[in-house]
Amino acid sequence: MKILVFGKTGQVATELQRQADVIALDMIALGRDQADLSDPAACAAAIAKHAPDAVINAAAYTAVDKAEEDEALATVINGDAPTAMAEACAARDIPFVHISTDYVFDGSGDAPWRPGDATGPIGAYGRSKLAGERGVIAAGGCYAILRTSWVFSAHGSNFVKTMLRLAETRDALTVVSDQIGGPTAAADIAAACLTLARGLRAGTGKSGTYHFAGQPDVSWADFARDIFAQANLAVRVTDIPSSDYPTPAKRPLNSRMECGALETEFGIARPDWRRSLADVLTDLKGSTS
C-alpha cells in the first residue's frame, strides 16, 4: 500500500514517517517545496503524479493568532487545498484522510462535542478548517475527517515543549484553567490516520467525520502540572482564567470531544495522554543526551 502524505516536518507528518519506517510502509511525504498548500492545483497534481493507494493530509495553516489578520491565506491552505486534494482523490477512487480540529465548534457548554453537532467557529482558524471539511465532504469521494485537539509531540512547537522551556528559567507559572480538552499525542494521531487509511481502502470502515482526542479531559493548568510532575521539575502552577491571558484569537473553552464513533467504526480507542506524554518526554530526553 502506497500512502501519499501532505506535510513533512509538522508534528503528525513527522510521526507518520517514523511509523512508516518501523513497519516498512511505502510512504511519500511532500514538503512545501514539493506541494505548496497555497497552490491547491499543485496539490491535486501531486496526487495525479504519485497515484497513491491512499492520501493523508497532515499539513495545515496552524498559526491560530496570525490567522486573525491573514484569514485569506489560512482559508486557501486549510480550505481550498484540502478541497482540491479530496476532489482529485474522488476522481481516482482514492481514500482521503484529512485532519481537522475542535476549533470548528464555538466551545460553549461542558458536554463533549459529537461529530454531528452544529459547528460555529469563533475565529479565523476555525472558519478556515471548517471550509476544508465542507470541501472534503462535497467532493463526494471516500474520506475520513479526523477532528483532534491539543496536539503535542517531541517535534515542532507545542504546549509540552513550551512548558519545559519555561521551566528552565522559572519555578512558577500561571496557566489558563477554564479551557478543557483532551491532549493528543501526534504519534497517536498518526497511528489513527494509518488505521483510517487502511480501513477505508479495504472497505472495512465508512466515510465520515470522526473525533479523536486523548483522555482524560483536563485543563491546560492541570496538563502543565502533569508535565512537570512526569519531568520531575519543581514548578508551581497557578490557575488563571482565559480573560487574564488575552490573545488575538479567542480559544474554545470547551474542547471536550466524544470519540465513540471512531472506536465503533474503526476500533480506535481514545489513548491515555499521560502514557503518551511519558513517551514524548523519553523521546525529548533521548534527543538531548
Residues labelled as active-site residues: 125
To the nearest 10 degrees (0 to 180), the angle between helices 186-202 and 11-23 is 60
User: In angstroms, how far is CA 33 from the centroid of its own chain?
Assistant: 22
The residue type at 216: P
- Write the burial class of residue 281 (CB in 10 Å: 0-12 exposed, 13-18 middle, 19+ buried): middle
Evaluated on CA atoms 137, 139, 145, 147, the torsion sign reads: negative
Could you tell me the three cell numbers for 256? 471536550
- Of 211, 156, 206, 217, give the one whose Cα is nearest residue 182: 217
SS3 state at 148: strand
Task: Name 266's bridge partners.
Answer: none
What amino acid is encoded at 117 in this protein? D
Phi, psi (deg, nearest 5) at residue 41: -65, -35
Sequence-ordered list of residues with C-beta below 8 angstroms from that of 157, at least 6 positions apart, any chain: none
Q: Residue type at 228?
A: F
Helices (H) and strands (E) in the chain, counts: 10, 13
H-helix or E-strand spanning residue 167 = helix 159-167
Interstrand relation of 54-57 and 96-101 (parallel, antiparallel or unpaired): parallel
